[in-house]
Amino acid sequence: MRYMETNIQIAEKVQKKALKIIDDLKIFEIWSSIGAKINLVGSLKTGLLINNRDIDFHIYTSPFSLSDSFSAISKLAENKRIKTINYSNLLECEDKCIEWHAFYEDDEAFLWQIDMIHILNESPYAGYFEKVADRICAVLTPEIKEDILKIKNSAPDNEKIVGIEVYKAVIEDKIKDFHSFREWQKENACQGILMWMP
């Protein structure tokens, strides 16, 4: 009989791989070299990364310097596994940030998206998603974690579901499977960023 991995075991493997990628890219060292504070946020921070290969960071500098941001990214681009880097300037928007999206090819030829959001200290989102991650970690039980990972891992490969929607559905509304999550989404459609924390 073939051994079946649990969702928690799959997630642990994926997260171990993500941490190796962070180490290979020297992300903390690179951003620290320009005087930045760099925080891991999102599903890797909460231990809920399973099937979307993405790693999220929020980055702060004081004072903010666009040229320093480019300098850090140019160092990151020297890693041969970085295949593409996208840039968006949202400094004049409500977000008040620079978005960097780097794509890293791992040794199995899978692409990982590394989101590095360089945020102005006066942005309304400064520190917000760090708090969200801390609050999610504080309420996670083995059962909640299993339900979240099961829903995430049931999504079709070509579909990216928004993690925070899954967390809200499971933690607040006790949703337990992907079909129920689909129904929940119809009733709780969210445009833009979902501002929720447990």
DSSP 8-class letter at 184: H
CATH match of 7-124 with 3.40.50.720: no
- Global pTM value: 0.90
Average pLDDT, the chain: 92
Task: Assign 3 a pLDDT band (cuts: 50, 70, 90).
Answer: low
Dihedral in degrees, nearest 10, Cα atoms 167, 169, 172, 173: -160
Q: Which two tokens stand for residue 179?
A: 């079909």
User: pLDDT tens digit string along 139-175?
Assistant: 999 999 999 999 999 988 777 788 899 999 999 999 9
Residue 60 clears pLDDT 70, i.e. is over it? yes
CB-side neighbour CA atoms (13 Å) of 3: 3
Residue 1 clears pLDDT 60, i.e. is over it? no
Domain coordinates in residue numbering, the chain: 7-124, 131-187
User: pLDDT tens digit string along 78-122?
Assistant: 999 999 999 999 999 999 999 999 999 999 999 999 999 999 999
Strand order from edge to edge, sheet including 54-60: 37-41, 54-60, 111-119, 97-105, 82-90
Task: Assign 63 a pLDDT band (cuts: 50, 70, 90).
Answer: very high
How far apart CA 120 and CA 71 sit, in angstroms, is 17
